[in-house]
Amino acid sequence: TRHLTRQDVETIAEYLIAGDKYNEIEPHIVPIIPPGLGDLANRPVTQTINEIDDSLNVASDTKTGIETLDIQNHEEAMYNLYAQTCGACHGPDGKGRAGIAPALLNNGIIMHKDPYDTIAVAIRGLMPSYMNRGTNFMPMSSVDTVLSDAQLAQLLTFVRNRLGGRTVIITAKDVTHVRKELEKSGYIGAIHQPME
């Protein structure tokens, strides 16, 4: 992508976000239906970002010695992380907030099979000009300095699963890889600025 012109980048971004209104899905294709945040969105936020890491520690089964993860605690911790980093703008249920931020539920970037763009947007932020031109959203701030690569990987895995129906696990290595590519191309931190 480093060889693309500004117009190429804007056209691709608009297509990825707005979609191709002339592209029809074949009738035999089953649409992805994400579960959404459901009951998690009705729970109060009970942990700070620093406390969340402690609740995600993997426990060992004393009989088998096999490491296990308490799924309920994990889901609650991930929702707490979502609420503190994404929920204020994208809504506690992921359905967006008018004039502030678009919905993440059924969002094309979140639902895409490759998590690269989701990771890149979280790391670099996004200007509203890359979104629906008829909607006046606020710029999306980067979470680059807020979360570690491991935290961001877990958060994005949770968001893509619950709001995009994707089960691909994003690893800290994936986040680090995208971060390095963004650094090389000059797109990192604060808010993504269009190429001049």
Give the N- to C-terminal CA distance of the chain in Å, as an integer. Answer: 15
Question: 13: pLDDT confidence band, cut at 50, 70 and 90?
Answer: confident
pLDDT of residue 76: 84
Question: Which domains occur in the chain, in start order?
Answer: 6-185 (1.10.760.10)
What average pLDDT does range 120-135 have in this prediction? 75
More confident: 177 or 18 = 177
In this predicted model, what pLDDT tens digit does every residue of 144-196 receive, in sequence order? 888 899 999 999 999 999 999 998 999 999 999 999 998 888 776 444 444 44
User: Distance between alpha carbon 41 and the CA centroid of its chain, in Å?
Assistant: 16
pLDDT of residue 192: 42
In this predicted model, what pLDDT tens digit does every residue of 108-118 receive, in sequence order? 899 999 999 99
pLDDT of residue 53: 57
Q: b/e map of 117-153 (b: 16 or more CB within 10 Å)?
A: bbbbbbbbbbbeebbeeeeebebbbbbbeebebebbb
pLDDT of residue 67: 42
